[in-house]
Structure 1
Amino acid sequence: MQADKLPTFFEQLNLQLTEAPNEVRRLFHGRGRRFEGLEQLTCDWVQGQLIVAIFKQVDELFIETLKQGLATLSESDLWQHKQGKSIVVQHRYADGAPSEVVLGELESQPVVHESGLKYQLNIGRNQNFGLFLDMRYGRDWVKENSKHKNVLNLFAYTCGFSVAAIAGGADQVVNVDMSKGSLAKGRENHKLNQHNINQVKFLGYDIFRSWGKIKKMGRYDLIVIDPPSFQKGSFALTKDYKRILRKLPELLAEGGEVIACVNSPQVTSQFLIDGMKEEAPALSFIERLDNPPEFEDTDPEASLKVLRFK
């Protein structure tokens, strides 16, 4: 990346911060490749905290120019108006993705708002802080389309889809994820929103070894599939996704719907469309949900794909 391109970063940052609602929000998405020389840089607004992530090692000039610009921002009227508290630079390319606090004090477990719902994040220790911001419209769709439904949330992570579904009036959500720690955070997210936990199940299992348990709680009116692109020893997207699609006919209720997601730049929407035709031909492709505008990409097929089938 190029230090002489950073004025573009700060121009966009000021513009987006000015317009940002009082919610968690992506402010700069260099990975959409719309800003030459800044392709490995992102910036998120975490309601008072600015989290700048660098995805590829850069030279000292870039770091110093970035920090100087962030210091200037922290002295601006805009920063005061937005009640900015801290600025963190996360080195995502480095082992452990270390975070460097360049202003104020990091609040590592803030509670943030999105579309009227609350989520607790975990900043500074992991590559991901507990809520994928590009999935906002997906969570909104689930919230708007879950009333009185039995919902299955595969690869649930911290249960963002589950929170949205219960908020939208779902009768039950079954969350499945190998990480019991992530599911515990999901339980806390439901509690933050004062949801009835009796309506929510948390299954800390390997999905491929647990179809029997999953089937017992079906059939499902809505199934959400949002896997990682790769998880060592447990999931490889292009190899394992079809194994899930194959199970859909025996899990879905009549008239049921599927939200199938993929977030690998190497895998296109057509992979899911063709895979569904092959493994679950009774399901028809309906639409691809939009991504939030702040995640615009020069190649839409390289960004998050959220596809709806029925």
Structure 2
Amino acid sequence: MPALDLALRAALDARQPLLGELHAQGTDCYRLFHGSQEGAPGLTLDRYGPQLLVQSFHQPLQREALLGLHSAINERLGLDLHLVYNDRAGGNSRVDRRDAVYQATPEALDDMLGQEWGLNYRVRGRHPGQDPLLFLDLRNARGWIKANSAGQSVLNLFAYTCGVGLCAAAGGAREVVNLDFAEGNLAVGRENGALNPSLPAMQFIQSDYFPAIRQLADLPVASRRGQKLPAYPRLAPRQFDLVFLDPPAWARSAFGTVDLLRDYQSLLKPAILATAEGGTLVCCNNLAKVELADWRDQVLRCAAKLGRPLRDCQVLPPAADFPSHDAKPPLKTLILRL
């Protein structure tokens, strides 16, 4: 039996207890194979409701291997999942079109529904962006938000498709504000809200992070290297009971640079100031080369310098379908009590 088949079988065996728990809690979106830790670096297999999303990041997956993976997963799960394969090994590439097997069927590319923590999410195998519409490794953090947001005002920063905001609304938050630079991301967030009509309405702000969070924190908005500032929404200073900060690894705009390796403090400082006294800030760092202990110390020092020392700091591990044999997963999440 080929090595990939054996690795997939071992991964599915290890997940059996977890899958039972996930299905019982109303979740059908999860990682079935985490190649970097389970025997095939650069390969991931994710279930999104009725869809199986296979992605390769180092080299294209051969036809026979792709079909074999699809068949093995359908047999193990007792399902007939729609296959979508995205090859992201080449520059700017997502799909290898040289063979018809790489081209998903029209049914597989239809808009679908996935569920997590009993909530509905939009699933699209192909869309204008590169990444899936729901980051699965953040499931535990979304679950924590759902369980701890009752009666809270919640600010969801770098909201992407607003899964954290949706969980806050489902958890009984009295107010949910989602902030993201990309209108396309917020459009999916609005769609996710509409897919859960029993939940209260969320708010959406399309803005660059820096002018928005600095206004909320009552700090001046400055341009980078004296550039003329583009237009941005005007916001009044205010604080929130619960703030969620999940920035990308790197991004640049006229207002500043997001750099999780060299300058996390510029993101963290205003987020702390926008968190109410006695409130909670949940912050993430998904850069693999950043050690948890070093980042945690950096976060603690930043809070202390602002005169907002932490009452408590808790590490929230990623979901169990994202194993890490060295106990150093790329995604690191801290729950900070201010």
Aligned position for 1:24: 29
SS of the residue corresponding to residue 297 of structure 1 reads: coil
CA distance in 1, matches of 2:28, 2:67: 26
1:124 alignment partner in structure 2: 126
1:188 CA displacement = 1.3
Post-superposition shift, 1:237? 1.6
The separation in 2 between residues aligned to 1:102 and 1:12, in whole angstroms, is: 27
Counterpart position of 1:223: 243
Give the CA deviation at 1:224: 0.5
Q: 1:276, 1:283 within 8 Å by CA — same for their partners in 2? A: no
Report the secondary structure of 1:142's partner residue.
helix
Cα displacement (A) at 1:124: 2.3
Note if contact 2:109-2:126 (Cα within 8 Å) is conserved in structure 1. no
Could you tell me which residue of structure 1 aligns to residue 145 of structure 2? 142
Check the 8 A contact 2:213/2:271 in 1, yes or no: no
Report Cα offsets for 1:177-216 as digits up to 9, x if no partner: 111110111111112111222xx22111111122355353
Looking at structure 2, the residues matched to 228 and 128 of structure 1 have their Cα atoms a distance apart, in angstroms, of 12
Structure 2: distance between partners of 1:110 and 1:118:
10
**Could you tell me whether the CA contact under 8 Å between 1:85 and 1:105 is conserved in 2?**
no
Say whether the 8 Å CA contact 2:323–2:329 is kept in structure 1.
no
CA contact (8 A) 1:222 1:252 kept: yes
TM-score by length of 2: 0.79
- Provide the residue aligned with 2:95 in structure 1: 98
Letter in 1 for 2:152: K
Q: Is the 8 A contact 1:221 1:252 kept in 2?
A: yes
The secondary structure found in structure 1 opposite 2:89 is: coil
Going from structure 1 to structure 2, the CA distance change for 1:13 and 1:69 (only over 3 Å counts) comes to farther
User: Helix, strand or coil for the counterpart of 2:328?
Assistant: helix
Aligned to 2:58: 56
Aligned residues: 297
Query: 1:196 corresponds to which residue?
Result: 200
Indicate the SS of the match to 2:186: helix
CA distance, structure 1, for counterparts of residue 159 and residue 137 of structure 2: 16
TM-score (norm 1): 0.86
Counterpart in the other structure of 1:296: 323
Q: Answer 1 or 2: which has greater helix percent.
A: 1
Residue 281 of structure 2 is matched in structure 1 by 258
Residue identity opposite 1:289 in structure 2: L
- Alignment partner, residue 3 of structure 2: 5
Q: Does 1:88 align with 2:90?
A: no
- Please report how far the alpha carbon of residue 66 of structure 1 lies from its aligned counterpart in structure 2 after TM superposition: 0.7
Q: CA deviation at 1:8?
A: 1.8
* Structure 2 segments unaligned to the other structure (5+ residues): 97-101, 218-235
2 CA distance for matches of 1:111 and 1:128?
17
Aligned pairs for 1:166-245 (under 5 A) are 166-194=169-197, 195-197=199-201, 200-211=202-213, 213-215=215-217, 216=236, 218-233=238-253, 234-245=257-268
Write the deviation string for residues 248-299 of structure 1: whole angstroms up to 9, x where unpaired: 4431212111111011111122343222222211124521112211101123
Structure 1 runs (4+) greater than 4 angstroms displaced: 16-19, 76-79
- 1:127 CA displacement: 2.3
Aligned-residue CA RMSD (Å): 2.5
1:77 Cα offset (Å): 5.0
Aligned to 1:283: 310
Identity of aligned residues (%): 30
Q: Give the superposition deviation at 1:16.
A: 6.8
